[in-house]
Amino acid sequence: MSTPNHRPAPAPSSMNLRGAVDLSALKAKATAPPAAAGPSDGAGAASDGASPYIVEVSEQSFPQVVQLSAQVPVIIDLYSARSPESQQVSAVLRSIVAEQDGKLLLAQVDVDQHPQIAQAFQAVAVPTVAAVLKGQPVPLFDRAVPEEQIRALVAELLQVAAANGVTGSLNEGGSADAAEDAPLPPLHQEAYDAIVEGDYDGAAAAYRKALAEQPADAEAKAGLAQVELMARLKGVDAEKLRTDAADNPNDVDAQLAVADLDVSGGHVEDAFTRVVRLIARVFGEDRERARLRLLDLFEVVGTTDPRVTKARSALARALF
């Protein structure tokens, strides 16, 4: 994990539900509830006055956090004790969440201890802060920013949450120890367990078995597209991929790799536009491969998403 980079934080007005991997597809029973972590001198270290709205999470307890994002916005604080900047950001976030008194949940993730969660959010620096709303990740910022800007982003997050029907409170019978969902179907549970272990091939195999048994299983279809995306991005050099794509505009593999990166980072429309334009330039097997990848990316983002509807129309025009 590197030191903070210099990419500017998004303007609050640009925030929306931007889907990369649908974290709600990773839901399963957590093996233990998240441990509360109150304000402290070091990020993530609990104090005597622990807050029920600030939790330290791991791969095992993270699914509970995703479940709660249907009730309240969940802020994901990816921090490292080695980074003074991330400790400062964590302190600001803890203060803001305490002020909201149950309208937000702060989930703190030590990236040194839990790199798989950091990878899921495509975090390459600390501090990195994101949110989850209704199972969908919303990137916020990936560098140290002033407190007033953090407060503006959180205020906008609450507005976006309200626009998407996430208006609950953890004071209304909810808490970080939320009730568990019904058990997942066996093959979905097998896929989730493989994801926790970083075995994306195993997760994909489980989802394929589920689809063989139930071809209309929409969750398995979406889950398969998501884990295949995660597998393609595992260990990639993003800068090299983008350079290769810029140097080789008709290289199908290079262009599809950058589309994967864009979807994973929330730049959904950029990804769709890139692949549609590629489809218009190539023919035969290359065109079909690009078309199928675009359909997979539609599943990752969500087939009812308006950006998918728009891209389907553009795809039809490119094909015919």
pLDDT of 315: 96
Q: Which residue did the predictor score with more confidence, 184 or 274?
A: 274
pLDDT of 1: 57
7 within some domain: no
Residues 92 and 221 in one domain: no
Q: Identify the residue whose tokens are 């989730």.
A: 192
Identify the CATH number of the domain in which residue 253 sits. 1.25.40
Q: Compute CA distances 53 → 38, 132, 169, whole Å.
A: 9, 15, 10
Among 235, 254, 269, the domain boundary falls at 235
Q: Which of 98-107, 117-126, 241-250 has the least mean pLDDT?
A: 117-126
What are the tens digits of pLDDT across the range 190-240?
988 887 677 889 999 999 999 999 999 988 998 899 889 888 988 888 899
pLDDT of 144: 92
Spatial neighbors of 167 by CB under 8 A, at least 6 apart, are 161
pLDDT of 182: 53
Residues 205 and 260 in one domain: no
- In the structure, what pLDDT confidence band is assigned to residue 50 with cuts at 50, 70 and 90? low
Using CA atoms of 130, 28, 204, 305 in order, give the dihedral in degrees to the nearest 10. Answer: -50
177 within some domain: no
Considering its fold, how many domains does the chain have in total?
3
pLDDT of 272: 97
Q: Compute CA distances 78 → 182, 219, 253, whole Å.
A: 29, 28, 31
pLDDT of 98: 92
| pTM of the model as a whole | 0.54
- In the structure, what pLDDT confidence band is assigned to residue 124 with cuts at 50, 70 and 90? confident
pLDDT of 134: 79
DSSP-assigned letters across all residues of 151-218: HHHHHHHHHHHHHTT----TTSS--TTPPPPPPPPHHHHHHHHHHHTT-HHHHHHHHHHHHHH-TT-H
pLDDT of 131: 92
| φ, ψ (nearest 5 deg) of residue 180 | -75, 145
313 within some domain: yes
Residues 137 and 215 in one domain: no
Q: For the chain, how big is the Rg over CA atoms in Å?
A: 20
Half-sphere exposure of 173 (CA within 13 A, CB side): 1
Residues 283 and 140 in one domain: no
Domain that holds residue 60: 12-163
Residues 16 and 157 in one domain: yes
pLDDT of 68: 85
5 within some domain: no
Sign of CA dihedral 241, 244, 249, 250: negative
Q: Which residue did the predictor score with more confidence, 134 or 71?
A: 71
Q: How would you classify the pairing of strands 128-133 and 74-79? A: antiparallel
